[in-house]
Amino acid sequence: MDMIKLPSGEIKLLDDAGEYRLLFLSPVCFRLHKADSLPSACVGKLANAKDEVEVKGNEASFGDLRLHFDGALRLKVYFRGKLCLQMAPHVLGKDERDLSLMEKEGHESNKGDEYQGGVSFINDSPIYGLGDKTGPLDKRGYDYINWNTDDPSAHVDTYKSLYKSIPFFLMFHGEDSVGVFMDNTSKCHFDFNKEDERLVSYDFSLGGLDMYCFFGSMPDVIADYTSIVGRNPLPPRWALGAQQSRWSYSSKEEVEAVIKGYEEADIPLSCVHLDIDYMDRYMDFTVDSKRFPDFKDWAASVLGKGVHLVTIIDAGVKALPGYEVYDQGIEKGYFCTQNGEVYHNEVWPGDSVFPAFYKEEVRQWWGDWVARQLESGASGIWNDMNEPASFKGPLPLDVDMGGLPHSLCHNIYGHLMDEATYIGFQKAGRRPYIITRAAYAGTARYSTMWTGDNQSIYEHMRLMIPQLSNMSMSGVANVGNDIGGFGGDSTPELLAKWATAAIFNPLYRNHSSLGTKHQEPYTLHGEFLAAYRKAILTRYELIPTIYDSLFLHESSGLAVLRPLVYNFPDDPEVYDENTEIMLSDSLLLAPSLFPGEKTRSAYFPDDFYSYFTGEKLAKGHHLIDVGIGNVPLFIRAHSIIAANPKGTKTTDFPSTLRLIWTGDEAACYHYEDEGDGLGYKKGEYNLFLIRASEENGVCVIPVHLGIKTHYKNIEISRPGEEPMARPFILED
């Protein structure tokens, strides 16, 4: 094999496998890719290490990394002198066996799956990531396929494909971790020690290898990865409140009844989602004027009550001459084609066409329509059916999506639609709030994500923690699932427990399907209504910490939702913890996940205190109370967090900053801005470092001052105790 250092800093690798390029992006990150690989849909221009890279024989080194090559795709990677990654090529060919009898009996087969090549890694450690796949937190022993798939059935552990394809995974080795990002948008297969307990295998159907490897601590690896693909922007603060949705609220009277129901139940509400029935004949960027007359004025009146509207937009555009979106797209050649003709399939509006989002001009055009939708009264956009989903079979692989065939564009179609929607918010001068079902690596820089059509069953509530944890480990900070479950009838107990288990989720949305029992919280009674109300009010207390965490994610890549292993990498007890989750460094939730459960065992990897009673729980296993009405929330020793005053029912910044302190040495950052708008991008925000000690008490130290503060007072309390108030004064 030949290794040639180029003036750009790249290293050209030549052998029988072809021509590859090696780039050191930092002392802890490199990229290895086929020389003729396609431009990335999610990675922009990269800086190379250039002159600092050292090449000797068949080795290349820079910073903490040394790579030893026995071939372009056969290498050993040493990090800080220790062998931490071995890679070898392999090819998985088409299965030529006769599988017809297997298929007749109803089994799935891999017939037709043909992979061009791939690589294997030697690994015997926990594996995390790959987005919203099913199964436990640790993915060892499972295999998955990255091919965005709309399947509303009850997903179980063995489901290989769901709505998102995020080809990033993390192999955890205690102190050090290795993150691997395979930037290939075709259908890809990942085998995490299933066929061979020593190997992680990756196979791609089209394109070539384009691999990024990141080394360091788990938080650093994820931060470095997101610095390349992008991070969730800070959402408007109202989006952290309670959101209510259903397929569908079919008139403005139904929406007003929802708002009234929340008010009468004494439960705060920040947002209502409008599913497809608000549209005129399910046509994007239209409103049914009979069921939602004077939409813009009505939306303004709803907003006056503190409730925002998020409107759904689907990928399929109704093929109807005279419909302006369709006419413009046809005239300008903006829809997907097959053999030179506009491709048609069926979605909700019937005969439909699909925007060719791979083309930049099409994304700009779509952004114009989104901006118009926002000016008409919508506060946010909900992108759905963007895998893309279709009713008359999947789109053929040769459909042209704007210069890229469906076979290579499928997994990024939703990503590109989200980018187009983001452009619309930019055109409107709004802070973006987009929710998407389909996604790829880097989609987070445009959109919040939800996990799609789950079911009203305990198994899917239990799936939430490992699923959202792995989304977080895949670089997605703003995420949630449908509280209560989308499909099927939720029971009062399940709904109340789900509302409790989801209080950390940045997206806190109750959503249900047409034909199911209504599950708005005000449909509950007695202890279940009280439990749901307590969960939401607790959530509202935590909004400052959630907002702080989202700011720190955007600015530094820190995870918001955290599996315990993220904060406690030295504790093997938490490597596959599927029933507990943390928010930032300090808060831990150990919810009830089974019917009738009144107590459960919970593991605490450090000393913690009950958020509500102040009871101390030393490191180890404890039996805790999780009966209806109990929120099993705990705050870590040596912590201080920002919270809203008790009883808060708004997402606005209060005039009193509440601080909960466990005692001893503690510190945190607290972020403040106007709660909406783009001013924070121009420095219009405040950032405070809050320090606490028994000797000096609590000090609020300004790090950045860009706006007039909302705060006039501070409340300081220990967990479970009444607060002491004082004026809001900054220290030097």
Residues recognised as catalytic: 384, 387, 453
Please check whether residue 691 is in contact with residue 667, taking contact to mean a CB–CB distance below 8 angstroms. Answer: yes
CA atoms within 13 A on the CB side of 5: 16
* Long-range pairs of 708-713 with CB within 8 A, sequence gap ≥ 24: 709/672, 710/653, 710/654, 710/655, 710/672, 711/653, 711/654, 711/655, 711/656, 711/657, 711/672, 712/655, 712/656, 713/655, 713/656, 713/657
Please check whether residue 532 is in contact with residue 524, taking contact to mean a CB–CB distance below 8 angstroms. Answer: yes
Please state, in angstroms and as integers, the Cα–Cα distance from residue 250 to each residue in 120, 278, 287, 289, 487, following that order.
Answer: 51, 6, 11, 12, 18
Helix/strand/coil for 460: helix
DSSP letter at 419?
H
The tokens describing 356, both together, are: 């060719």
End-to-end CA distance of the chain: 61
Please check whether residue 535 is in contact with residue 499, taking contact to mean a CB–CB distance below 8 angstroms. Answer: yes
Q: What are phi and psi of 152, to 5 degrees?
A: -85, 5
Residues 6+ away with beta carbon under 8 Å from 655: 710, 711, 712, 713
Q: What are phi and psi of 228, to 5 degrees?
A: -90, -45
DSSP letter at 455?
B
The tokens describing 69, both together, are: 């090559």
Cα–Cα distance measured from residue 255 to residue 272, given in angstroms and rounded to the nearest whole number: 8
Please state, in angstroms and as integers, the Cα–Cα distance from residue 683 to each residue in 426, 669, 673, 674, 703, following that order.
Answer: 18, 16, 9, 11, 12
Cα–Cα distance measured from residue 606 to residue 426, given in angstroms and rounded to the nearest whole number: 44
Helix/strand/coil for 135: coil
> b or e along 613-647 (b: 16 or more beta carbons within 10 Å of the residue's beta carbon)?
eeeebeeeebebebebbbbbbbbbbbbbbbbbbee
Please check whether residue 127 is in contact with residue 171, taking contact to mean a CB–CB distance below 8 angstroms. Answer: yes
The tokens describing 544, both together, are: 């400052």
Q: How many CB atoms lie within 10 A of CB 607?
A: 15
Strand partners, 667: 691
Helix/strand/coil for 628: coil
Helix/strand/coil for 233: coil
Query: Peptide bond before 270: cis, by omega within 30 degrees of 0?
Result: no
